[in-house]
Amino acid sequence: MTTITIRRATIADAFRLSEIGAATFTDTFGHLYPPEDLAAFLHIAHTPEVWSRRLHDAHVAVWLVEAKDGAVAGYASAGPCKLPVPDLESNAGELFQLYVRDTYRGGKLGSRLLEAALAWLEARGFAPLYLGVWSGNEGAQRLYGRFGFTRCGEYEFPVGAQRDHEFILRRA
């Protein structure tokens, strides 16, 4: 079993996060989009500049998962809720992203990463907690369900010109 470390990301990790963010999104969802839509999304969501801004935000936390050999195995990010939730509570938190490379799946790494993000959100008084998940990602929905998240809404998530049907999940 490969030794895995989960740690808070720093400003110095912006480039690595842009790489893992683009790679995991493309590996997981790239087949769903025309190349121009995928490229447009990656340009607004996974550049070193975008990650640097997130890492400078005191209200946001990002975790990086590293294998013993230094390879990045995954990441997660969380902070104040930005989902289109009607009557959103002022202290609501959100798991923004949670991705694990295919080669590292199966060892409960996603659960460990989720536990770290949830503990951080709860320690800072965020409640309730929300997340958005693609309606077709049943594996992720099962994982979140095991952690007490239930479906409470839907929205459209833009990827280039395409709009994905997403579920909003909530944990009280």
Q: What is the pLDDT of residue 15?
A: 98
User: Domain boundaries in the chain?
Assistant: 4-171
Q: Is 70 left (phi over 0), alpha (psi -120 to 50) or beta?
A: left
Output the pLDDT for position 3. Answer: 85
DSSP 85: -
CA-atom Rg of the chain in angstroms: 15
Question: Which of helix, strand or coil describes residue 86?
Answer: coil
pLDDT at position 106 is 78
Question: What is the rounded CA–CA span in Å between residue 121 and residue 131?
Answer: 12
Contact 140, 156 (CB under 8 A): no
Q: Determine the Cα–Cα distance for residues 171 and 127; give it in Å rounded to an integer.
A: 8
Say how many C-beta atoms besides its own lie within 10 A of residue 110's C-beta.
21
DSSP 108: S
- Measured between alpha carbons, how far is 4 from 103 in angstroms, rounded to an integer? 13
Q: Please give the sequence-ordered ranges of beta strands (E in DSSP) within the chain, or none if there are none.
A: 4-8, 61-67, 72-80, 93-100, 129-134, 150-159, 162-171
Contacts of 68 (CB under 8 A, 6+ apart): 2, 3, 4, 5
Q: What pLDDT is recorded for position 2?
A: 62
Tokens representing residue 50 in the block: 């975008």
Please give the average pLDDT of every successive group of 10 residues along the chain, which has 172 residues. 86 98 96 97 97 98 94 96 97 98 87 97 98 97 98 98 97 92
Cα separation, 33 vs 97, whole angstroms: 19
Q: At what angle do helices 109-123 and 138-146 cross, to 10 degrees?
A: 50
Query: Which CATH code fits 4-171?
Result: 3.40.630.30
pTM of the model: 0.95
